[in-house]
Chain A
Amino acid sequence: MGGILDLLINLLGFLWSIAKVLIPIMIVIEIFKDTKLIDKISDYFNPVSKFFTLSKTSGISLLFGMFFGLTIGAGAILQSIKDYDVDKRSIFLISMFLSPCHAIFEDTFIMWSVGANIFPLLVARLGSAIIVTFILSRLIKKEPGDGIEVIRGRD
């Protein structure tokens, strides 16, 4: 029975570790939206979105995932799918970028703490993500309608 109790405690701790990042991020996203800050940040991020031929509103999900982790990035993407019509191609490309390169603060700090050299680490992760996403973005053709987004009303 002790093993099952341990498992439950670990599981709750695991979910809590996600909740304590996810909920504040969601609040920050709502504040960004209501202050129109998200439009400004998206504008700054436009060259990157353009380079990877992503749709305009989806680039911010890439940014969130890169800094706060895949779970948070996926959460942001799920939320942006509810708010906007994000095309499948952009979601695929963002997923391919975030797969090798996410949570770069947290992961890098952990690796540094065990004695790894973080410079090659960051170069390897960012390099992998950029190469994969760039190649795939040039291989996968845009379909008509991709990148055109209809902003949905809030329910």
Chain B
Amino acid sequence: MVTFDTIKRGFKNGIDTLIELSKILVPVYIAVEILSVSGLLNILAEFFKPVMSILGLPGEASLVIILGYFLGTYAGLGALAAIDLNGIQITTIAIMLSISHSLISESAIVKKLGVSAGASIAVRVSFSILAGFLHYRIFG
């Protein structure tokens, strides 16, 4: 039977879970903001530049991938809009970022479940690069 109590219980569970997740989400969010403002993220972007050519992407695309990996899909897409890419390259980046994004905050969520964050990151980054490479090889 669905009663008012059902709705109330669901609402309470929602709030409880939100508070539980916020304990991780809030500090991580602030930490990533600091990483971004301090310019450390840009140094990382420069470092990964050579890898991009293997995926058929221009050097500038590393910024899109790095921003997506660390900050999230939206940050990555913000950078994507600023550089010249063809349709195949956009899809390659979309595949890579869909599989692997917001690694810092989402790994914290995975860790909350008692699962190794390293395993989650390893799976995501390796499949992200593999899928991006395959897409470039097949369609590029």
Contacts and interface: CB of A to CB of B under 8 A. Distances in A.
Given A7-B33, A70-B109, A124-B98, A22 B127 contact: no
Most chain A Cβ neighbours within 10 Å, of B2, B7, B21, B98: B98
A71 B20 CA distance: 11
Interface string B82-125: 00000100110111011110000010011011110001100110
B38 interface: no
A39 interface: no
The majority secondary structure among interface residues of chain B is: helix
Interface of A is mostly: helix
A74 B112 contact: yes
A38 interface: no
A22 B109 CA distance: 14
Nearest to B115: A95
Interface in A68-93: 70-71, 74-75, 77-79, 88, 91-92
A70 B14 contact: no
Contacts, number: 152
Nearest to A154: B9
Contact of B127 (A74, A77, A92, A100): A100
Contacts of B17: 22, 26, 75, 78-79
Nearest to B13: A26
Most buried by A among B17, B87, B123: B17
A83 to B, nearest CB: 10
Nearest to A106: B73
Most buried by B among A19, A101, A128: A128
B94 A121 contact: yes
A40 to B, nearest CB: 15
Contacts of A131: 127
A108 B95 CA distance: 10
Nearest to B26: A11
A29 interface: yes
A121 B131 CA distance: 9
B6 A91 contact: no
Contacts of B87: 115, 117
Contacts of A29: 10, 13
Nearest to A93: B115
Interface of B: 1-3, 6-7, 9-11, 13-15, 17-18, 20-22, 25-26, 29-30, 33, 37, 73-74, 77, 80-81, 87, 90-91, 93-95, 97-100, 106, 109-110, 112-115, 119-120, 123-124, 127-128, 130-131, 134-135, 139
